[in-house]
């Protein structure tokens, strides 16, 4: 380890269980010398095992609904009290689509569900930064990171309204990040991560296919949750003090690919097999 975060204090949202990227970030931040509080919505805390992570990293857990300004105010105040000062880094790792959970097709959404998913997955990021900004809770050259996905730029049909949420999340990072950088010297970025087999991701229809396809498409293969944690740590550190307003692709090169040899070979093999079957039937 490199002590990249020695003496730094933070808040980590969204560590559900050991599969989650936020969990890995917390472990790596602890290894790099940081102290932090963990937070998640009360319902998520009941479903997950965050208390195990807290014990492992010597952290305290503060329940907070990220869609509630009242909860966020309590969270920020308690975090600074527990940690003994202003915050140096924040991870927003929150996302949820009720439409996906209920199996509603993108063209036939329940818009009340859409609003809920938008509030949890994207608007919560604005709420978090707004509370931190108003309370002047971040140290200069602090770093705020949110996790995104390539569906914000390209069509992944079964990713549903989560794609819209991620697109808005990235826009918030740029817009709020301008004011946070100008006024407080705080960095705001998003990481567009490879499809990762987390508990949340597994709820998306065909997600195994996303993972397999990206693995074949990417020249370096998919980035793991642990590798994403390493990248996040670098953005929390002083080594990236002038990186802000960016959506940073951490996907093994997937985002710049049109097609790979492996994908084309698989396609042609399937195409030739189907063509041979048609010709056989015509005989």
Nearest to 140 by CA among 192, 193, 181, 199: 181
CA dist., res. 99 & res. 61, Å (int): 29
In the chain, helix, strand, coil percent, each to 5?
55, 15, 30
DSSP string of 162-173, one letter each residue: HHHHHHHHHHHH
Q: Decide if 111 is catalytic.
A: no
CB 141 within 8 A of CB 89: no
Q: How far apart are CA 14 and CA 198, in angstroms?
A: 12
Give me the catalytic one of 2, 111, 133, 149.
149
- Give the residue numbers of the binding site: 14, 20-21, 94, 166
Dihedral angle of Cα 134, 137, 139, 144, to the nearest 10 degrees: -80
- Let me know: does 127 contact 67? Beta carbons within 8 Å: yes
- Integer angstrom CA distances of residue 270 from 3, 57, 93, 209: 50, 49, 38, 16
**Catalytic residue (choose from 106, 159, 178, 180):** 159
Give catalytic status of residue 168 as yes or no: no
Q: Which residues are annotated as a binding site for NAD(+)?
A: 14, 20-21, 94, 166
With left for phi above 0 and alpha for psi between -120 and 50, is residue 221 left, alpha or beta?
left
Q: Residue length, the chain?
A: 283
Measure the CA–CA gap between 204 and 99, rounded to whole angstroms.
10
Rounded distance between C-alpha atoms, residue 106 and residue 110, angstroms:
9
Cite the active site residues. Answer: 149, 159
């Amino acid at each position: 380890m490199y002590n990249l975060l020695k003496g730094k204090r933070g808040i980590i949202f969204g560590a559900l269980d050991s599969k989650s990227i936020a969990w890995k970030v917390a472990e790596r931040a602890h290894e790099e010398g940081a102290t932090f509080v963990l937070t998640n919505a009360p319902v998520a805390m009941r479903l997950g095992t965050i208390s195990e992570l807290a014990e492992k990293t010597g952290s305290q857990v503060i329940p907070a609904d990220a869609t509630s300004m009242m909860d966020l105010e309590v969270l920020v105040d308690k975090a600074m009290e527990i940690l003994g000062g202003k915050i140096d880094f924040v991870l927003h790792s929150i996302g949820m689509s009720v439409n996906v959970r209920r199996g509603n097709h993108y063209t036939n959404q329940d818009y009340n569900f859409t609003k809920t998913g938008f509030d949890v997955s994207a608007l919560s990021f604005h709420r978090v930064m707004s509370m931190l900004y108003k309370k002047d809770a971040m140290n200069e050259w602090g770093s705020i990171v949110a996790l995104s996905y390539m569906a914000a730029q390209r069509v992944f049909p079964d990713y549903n309204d989560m794609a819209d949420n991620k697109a808005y999340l990235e826009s918030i990072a740029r817009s709020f990040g301008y004011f946070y950088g100008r006024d407080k010297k705080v960095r705001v970025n998003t990481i567009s991560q490879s499809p990762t087999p987390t508990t949340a991701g597994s709820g998306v229809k065909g997600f195994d296919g996303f993972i397999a396809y990206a693995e074949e498409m990417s020249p370096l293969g998919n980035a793991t949750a642990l590798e994403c944690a390493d990248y996040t740590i670098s953005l929390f550190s002083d080594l990236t003090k002038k990186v802000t307003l960016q959506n940073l692709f951490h996907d093994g090169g997937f985002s710049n690919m049109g097609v790979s040899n492996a994908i084309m070979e698989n396609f042609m093999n399937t195409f030739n097999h189907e063509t041979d079957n048609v010709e056989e039937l015509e005989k």
